Structure 1
Amino acid sequence: MRLRCAVLDDYQGVASALADWSLVDATFHREHLPSRDAVVEALRDQDVVVAMRERTPFDAELFARLPSLRLLITSGMRNAAVDLDAATAAGVTVCGTGSTSGAPVELTWALILGLARHLVVENTALRSDGPWQSTLGIGLAGKTLGLLGFGKIGVQVARVARAFGMDVVAWSANLTEDRTSAEGVRLASSLEDLVAASDVLSVHLVLSDRTRGLVDASVLKSLRPTALLVNTSRAAIVDQDALVDVLMAGGIAGAGLDVFDQEPLPRGHVLRRLPNVLATPHLGYVTDGNYEVYFREAVEDIRAFLDGSPIRVLT
């Protein structure tokens, strides 16, 4: 009997066309499943689930309610929303896929540039016959970009910043001067030093117990009033409630956000309305090239599982 496969969060309705799903009976869910009961109802008879990023938590309680599940595939090779120990205990194999780092780099710069030049305000005014030029843009040349995290994505963000004539400083707990100096980037001595130096602070850390809530109220209040904060990494690294407070008080000039504590961001949420926020609905990885990799390799994972030799297994 052919395996039954559910593909979650196919918002754009493109998954079926980006890979050959003929080896399974595939169901594509265009809408996010909003509750645990909705997830169970939709997936209870599925042998394979393809999950998009960290939108749907898979923990011991959910695995227990999905007795047919044999293979869980996540886009990318890391997913903090999947309890791998619980998966193993439930007899579920968890596999990942490749991804490209260029997509989040590009969106990071879209947010920085959009904030700096007030593109939403000015475009809205132009479309509504509003005032012709009402804002004063922020020139980036000579400004300092602070990178909280200097992995594969952070390095590429830094290279673009240098092309704009920005000074770049970076910090993370285990970052060394050898790594930063090779890219013409200064190493901050501490998180406090990084924040104090930054005209733009961009977050590029992996979410872990150590980084969760790292950018808290005290860090946010230490940013200069003219500073911009950008987060295309993981929402939980920044204290969202504290960020809202700082934004509403005008403590920083603006925030560019692609990740949120709850996704989709609820209708009417304050972050949808604040004029000093440029927000996108978690688009950092949403490009044609990235999706082609995700879904093609998801099918490869299924085929390897059926052959008895799973690949890209997460442990």
Structure 2
Amino acid sequence: MTKKIIISEFMDEAAVQWLAQRFDVVYEPDLCERLEALSALLVDADALIVRNRTQVNAQLLACQTRLQAVGRLGVGLENIDLAFCRQQAIEVIPALGANAAAVAEYVICCAMQLLRGAYAASSEVAAGLWPRERLINGREIGGKLLGVVGLGSVGRITANLAQAIGMRVVAYDPSLDAEHSIWQTVGCCAELDQLFREADVVSLHVPLSDSTRNLVDARRIGLMPEGAILINVARGGVVDEAALATAVLRGKLAGAAIDVHVQEPLPPGSALADVPNVILTPHIAGVTAESNARVSHFIAQHVAEKLNRSATPQ
């Protein structure tokens, strides 16, 4: 019997075709919005491939009878009920490291934009205005201190890129002991508050958990130097969005880049809507043409390996 794979969100077409040559594949990128249809398709599916919008929980999987794997086109697993999957002997496969370079580039690009502050003036210049006086005090990224919160694969590549363009880097990651080799090249902050007091740019790279929810609250934002920048490519719940908006509006922070949000898409009246010097993007820091291909082929190959192993007599 041919194994069946359901893909509920967008995936690189070449990876989809590679799977379709080997398995019975149902690829409908909007299935994440049609949960009844998705649940019905999972009744006899062997694998499910998702991004971050599909909520893989007991309700969705209630009718499945033979699911063996959930492939995650990314690394965050907050949308997957890991305990339930373990209970059902369903292997969860994240694309570890496959989009790290894209996220790191996003961080450095946003830091440059927000520090320089000159790249949103095109319409004024084209209209014959000349906002030169307002824009001549932009800041260079070289020599600035980047504080990296979380030194997983993304945090480490971000630190490397930052150092390559002349930034100094400090980091906070309590999961790494003091003897870890990373501290030979990156400054270690023993306390998170210390990092927030010192860094010109803070970049967040932690999963959302009970310990990281509202990790960056009004108090911690208040520790940051005047004119600092905050970049969140972790998860929306890590940052108190209302406190961040207030800090930018009052001039405490020079700006922020937020790719992940408490509610996605943003609801009407979001605290960060229309706040100047805030870059808002729709959870795409890790998605480029290149990273989508890498992530998609990584998951395609690993899901195929899982299904092929299970089909081999022991």
TM range (shorter): 0.7 to 0.9
Q: Which whole-Å CA distance do the structure 2 matches of 1:176 and 1:129 have between them? A: 56
Closer, same or farther in 2 for the Cα pair 1:33/1:306, shift >3 Å? closer
Q: Which has the higher mean CA deviation after the structures are superposed, 60-69 or 108-117?
A: 60-69
Change (3 A) 1:27 1:309: closer
3-state SS of the aligned residue for 1:189? coil
Map 1:62-141 onto structure 2 (within 5 A).
62-64=60-62, 66=64, 69-76=67-74, 79-90=77-88, 92-98=90-96, 99-126=98-125, 129-133=128-132, 134-135=134-135, 136-141=137-142
Pick one of 12, 17, 23 that aligns with 1:15. 12
Matches within 5 A, 1:1-80: 2-10=2-10, 15-19=12-16, 20=18, 21-31=20-30, 33-34=32-33, 38-46=34-42, 47=45, 48-52=47-51, 54-64=52-62, 66=64, 69-76=67-74, 79-80=77-78
For residue 245 of structure 2, what is the aligned residue in structure 1? 244
Moved over 6 A (4+): none
State the shift of 1:94 in Å: 2.8
The answer on whether the counterparts of 2:146 and 2:200 sit within 8 Å (CA) in structure 1 is yes
RMSD of aligned residue pairs (Cα, Å): 2.8
In 2: Cα distance, 1:202 partner to 1:160 partner: 13
Contact 1:77 1:96 in 2 (8 A): yes
- Gap regions ≥5 residues in structure 1: 311-315
Give the C-alpha shift of residue 258 in structure 1: 1.4
The verdict on how the C-alpha distance between 1:266 and 1:18 changes in structure 2, with shifts beyond 3 A counting, is: farther
Q: CA deviation at 1:226?
A: 0.7
**Preserved CA contact (<8 Å) 2:75 2:94:** yes
Counterparts of 1:65 and 1:247, CA distance in 2: 48
Q: Which residue of 2 is the match for residue 144 of structure 1?
A: 145
Distance, in Å, in 2 between the alignment partners of 1:82 and 1:242 is: 29
Give unmatched runs, 5+ long, in structure 2: none
Measured at CA, do residues 150 and 97 of structure 1 come closer, stay the same or move farther in structure 2, by a change above 3 Å? closer
After TM superposition, give the deviation of residue 255 of structure 1 in Å: 0.3
Q: TM-score by structure 1 length? A: 0.83
TM normalised by structure 2 equals 0.83
**Are the counterparts in 1 of residues 99 and 287 from structure 2 also a CA contact under 8 Å?**
no
Question: Does the 8 A contact of 2:111 with 2:141 survive in 1?
Answer: no
Contact 2:31 2:37 in 1 (8 A): no
Query: Quick one: structure 1 residues 30 and 188, their matched pair in 2 at CA, closer, same or farther if it must change by over 3 Å?
Result: same
Q: Aligned letter for 2:246? A: D
> Does the residue aligned with 2:48 lie in a helix, a strand or coil?
strand
Alignment partners' CA distance in 1, 2:29 and 2:123: 29
Instruction: Compare 192-201 and 271-280 and name the one that shifted more.
Output: 271-280
Q: What are the Cα deviations for residues 130-188 of structure 1, in whole angstroms up to 9, with x where unaligned? A: 444342312223322212122332232223323333332222224445445411x3222
One-letter code aligned to 1:42: L
- What is the number of equivalent residue pairs in this alignment? 302
The one-letter code of the counterpart of 2:27 is F
CA distance in 1, matches of 2:27, 2:74: 19
Identical residues among aligned pairs (%): 27
Contact 1:101–1:153 (CA under 8 A) maintained in structure 2: yes
